[in-house]
Each structure stands twice: as C-alpha cells, then as structure tokens.
Structure 1
C-alpha cells in the first residue's frame, strides 16, 4: 500500500472512530461542523463572524445557515460590531453555553472510554503518535512540554534502535555503529553503579524523545555518552537539558572532570557541548561505514 493510500485509509478509519459519520455529534442534533462552530464560540465571550469563518475554513453561506439555525434554536445571537458596522459579532446565549458544555462533557467521556480500553503503555503510544502527527503537519501546534526522567522497562532497547535508525538516515552510518551503541548500552545494563552512573530519558507527548548517559571513566572522571534528541523534538531545549542533567549528576557523584567523544559531522550536538562549557582537547581522523570523519574528545572541569 503506497503512502497516499495509507493516509486516506487512516482518515477514513479515524473518522469512524470519533463517530462523526452518525446523524449527530455525540448524540446531539448537531453535525460535526455545527459542533465545531459551537466549540469555537464556547471558548470565547464573542467572536466576529468573519474570524470564525476564516478559522474553520467555512464557506460564508454555509456558516450563515449554521448561525441562523443556532439563532432559531436559541443558542446564539448576532449583532453589528460596535467598531465596524459592516462586520457581525456572534455570541452564545445561556442556552447555547449549556449546549456547548453538554457537548464538551460528552466529547471528554467518549475519549475517556476509548482510552480506558487501552493499557497505560498503549495510551502513551497513542497520545505520542497523535502529537507527532500534529507536530509534523502543523509545526505551530507542536507541544513544547517535556519531562526528563529515569528509563522505563524496554527503553534501553529504544536507545539502541533510535540511534541505529537516526544515524543511518542522517549520516549514513550502518550496522557497525549500531553495534557499538548496543555494546555501550549492554555494558551499562549489565554492570553499573547507580550512585555514579545514570541514564535519563526525555519524554514529550507521552513517548521517548531523547536520552543521555553518564558513566564512569575513572574515579575522578565521568563520561557523557549517547546524547540523542528525536527530530520531532528538536528546538525545544531538550539536548541542553539532558546535558545539564548529566553535569549535575556527575558533580553530585563526586567526579572532578567529565569528557565526551563525538564526531565532527554532529554540529548541533557540538553547539550544545560548547554552550555547556566543554572544550575540544583531542581529535583524530577516522571513518564510519566507509565515510571519512574526525573523532573528537571534549572535556570540562566540574
């Protein structure tokens, strides 16, 4: 199935899931479009009709018929704008606001029932996928909230998987690099001192969006490893927050110095490291998957 067909199939499926193919939205006498207009009017004291039309992308005649129905049902009232007599202002009546609250409650109940049928992990996956769709199709809607937390079961595998996928897509690095990441993660999982070593996961939209490790190099030196931020979450400050978390932990664990190993194509990561006070102390020519590059060591005192 090609991508266009997949998107169209999803649209049909989700339209059925939210129940908009029935005669009324949430067992009301109002269609999906009418309910959208009610929701928009219910979120503000009043609105210019032209603004509602532009916001919802409605035909002027169609919106006028919807508002006429609302007026006939006692839900809304229109009047001329006091600032510009050529424009109309519409507001919900008390009855209209009661109808809006009823639809809002039924919408919340409907979504709650859908989510209750899923496990906690599946709920996180669903909400994360929805946030990803919004962020990709309308970057202005991307949520800026995220949390930094310890890993959950299964997320060590996520670290290896996402490093393998992203570095292959963005830099052309292959199986040898993924195997290196797997060894680093396996070493951490198999034998680490939680007082002196740690892993953090950044979560945005209910799903992992980044990671970083702090591991022991020697008694006085920590090493920052495997910093990663998902493309969909870049620009939110996650990378810098993860590095700060690592630095704070290393200080509290008693290390006096911290180092990291990186490569010259990773320019975004390098900006984060330099901004956090790291300095380049060593570099050597190297290669990855047949691609020439420069290996770099950065360090800073704690």
Structure 2
C-alpha cells in the first residue's frame, strides 16, 4: 500500500514542476523579456521596494552575492537600473529602476497578469480562492523551511463559541472579500452583512441563538451563526458561514457546521434553513453531506447584484 504522506509529497512536487514549466522558468529568458528569471525577479523586487542594495536583493532572491552582482551590473549597463550611494553608508550602493526599467517592469507585470487571468478562466470560481490561499501558505512554509525560522508550523485552528472582540468587522471583511470575487458584490452587500451581524450580536444571549468562530492563534479565520428567532418559532436560520481562504480546504468549514448543527439538534429546532447562491459547489457539498436539501431556487437582487439564490433545508432530529 502506498504511503499517503509520500504520495502527498510526490504530488506537490509534480505540481510544482509543472508550474515551473508552464510559467516559463525553464526558458533562458522570462516574461517576454531578454532577461533570465533572476533579473526579472530583481526588477519586480525593486519595483516593490523602490531602492535596495545588491546584498538585500541577493537575500531576497535566495542567491549568492557574486552571481547577483554580475546580473545587476548587466541591468545597470542595459539602462534598466541606476546606482546611488547610500545616505547612511558611503560604502553601500543602492539600486533603483530607471525610466526604462519602469517600462520593462510594467511589461513584465502585464505579461504575468495575463498568464494568471488566462489560467483563472479555466477554473471554477470557488477554486480560485483555494489556489490563492494554498500558494500563499505553501510559499510561506518554503521560505520558513529555507531560513530555519521559528514558527514554521502553522497554528492549529480551534472552534470557539460566543462573541469575540472584533468579530463583526472580521466576519464582514471575509464576506466582503469572498463575495466581491465570486459574485461581484460591493459596498451594499458589505454594509448589509455588518448591519445584520451587529444586530444579531446584540441578541446573542437569547435562547436558541449561537455564534461560533474559528481561531488560528487569536485571528478569526471562520464563522457561523444560528439565529433562532428571525424565521419564527421552531426554525433555525444558519447565517454568516464563512471560512478564510488561508485555511479553506482544511476541514474548518466542516467543524464550524458540526458545532452549529449540534446546537440546532440539542435545542430541538424542527428545521434549519440557510440561503446561499448557485455556483458555490464546495459549500453546497458541505451542506448536502450534513442533510440539507435544496428547497427553493430563485433570482434575486437583495444583495445589490442579480444572483440565483438557493434555500437549503435540513429537518431536525425529530423531524
């Protein structure tokens, strides 16, 4: 039987190799320029930081100083970079982009964006956030492993009941970012989330109501609520279910739902309902796996944009 851990490692390595090839890093030059990958990355970092020493660029790129110095000299000679003496240490020369370098960088950025945009067109909308979050976590872990930095192990996520300071703003932020990307929602939607959640938190202590947050360290990375009042007697309303992209796909959503539905069953609600939007297949799978069925589907504009709204219903344990 294959070792699951080894299969995971091999799978990530294979995907990494394919990304390197697809992004063009196997070529002598990169991003439709006349420069190798190290030079293109140096231009990008100088564009971000404005001015850097050769030693700082070498450390940032993870390359030895001698090879970086030769590469930077070629960029200076090509008119892409200019050198100035540091105000703090006359022995150090800082590098920055020339007008030509800024034009080259703009072309590099446009090329890179086109690559990503074209790839995103081949993904389901709900997969895009997963890719972004996964790559960020993976890149950060690789950097920590290379540097030997403490804290390379990501903090576990714990599920905690009740109000937390900052929860209204943080949950609103997660909703705003996610639904702007996936449904084109804007200020109106974000304001509605903040207003509704603030009102709910004011009656959180009433019987039947509940709020659970996912915490990574002290950072809120997910939430779910059960409103036992707004739909009428015997009905639970599952609301504000969201998981931050950085932890999505790791079972956090399942744990939040489990806590919320255990509350519903313990309280004896006859039915739990939730509203969502068509196209969020990962979330729909979670709902259906826990006994929800699609009860209604309709076009609506209550959040500021026209979407296909879906009502999912789960009978209570005695239902």
Q: What TM-score does the superposition give when structure 2 sets the normalisation length? A: 0.51
Which of 172, 175, 187 is matched with 1:163 structurally?
175
The equivalences for 1:16-95 within 5 A come to none
Answer yes or no: is 1:245 the counterpart of 2:259: yes
How many residues end up aligned between the 2 structures? 189
CA distance in 2, matches of 1:188, 1:284: 26
Other structure's SS at 1:234 match: coil
Alignment of 1:164-183 (within 5 A): 164-183=176-195
Counterpart selection for 1:4 from 40, 45, 52: 45
1:275 aligns with 2:289: yes
Question: Residue 202 of structure 1 corresponds to which residue in structure 2?
Answer: 214
Matched residues in 2 for 1:158 and 1:164: separation? 10
Are positions 1:259 and 2:268 aligned together?
Answer: no
- Residues 297, 207 of structure 1: CA spacing in aligned structure 2 closer, same or farther, 3 A cutoff? same
d(CA) in 1 for partners of 2:207 and 2:47? 48
- Number of the residue aligned with 1:149: 160
Larger deviation, residues 214-223 vs 144-153 = 144-153
1:144 shift after superposition: 7.2
> TM-score normalised to the size of structure 1?
0.54
Deviations 1:233-280 (A, max 9, x none): 111111111111110011112212101011103222111111111000
Match of residue 226, structure 2, among 208, 214, 236: 214
Cα displacement string for residues 205-234 of structure 1 (whole angstroms, at most 9, x for unaligned residues): 441111111101222110100110111111
5+ residue gaps, structure 1, are: 16-55, 59-130
| 1:235 maps to 2:246 | no
* Counterparts in 2 of 1:142 and 1:263: CA distance versus 1, 3 Å: farther
Q: Give secondary structure in 2 for the equivalent of 1:219.
A: coil
CA RMSD of aligned residues (A): 3.6
**1:3/1:178 CA distance change after superposition, 3 Å:** farther
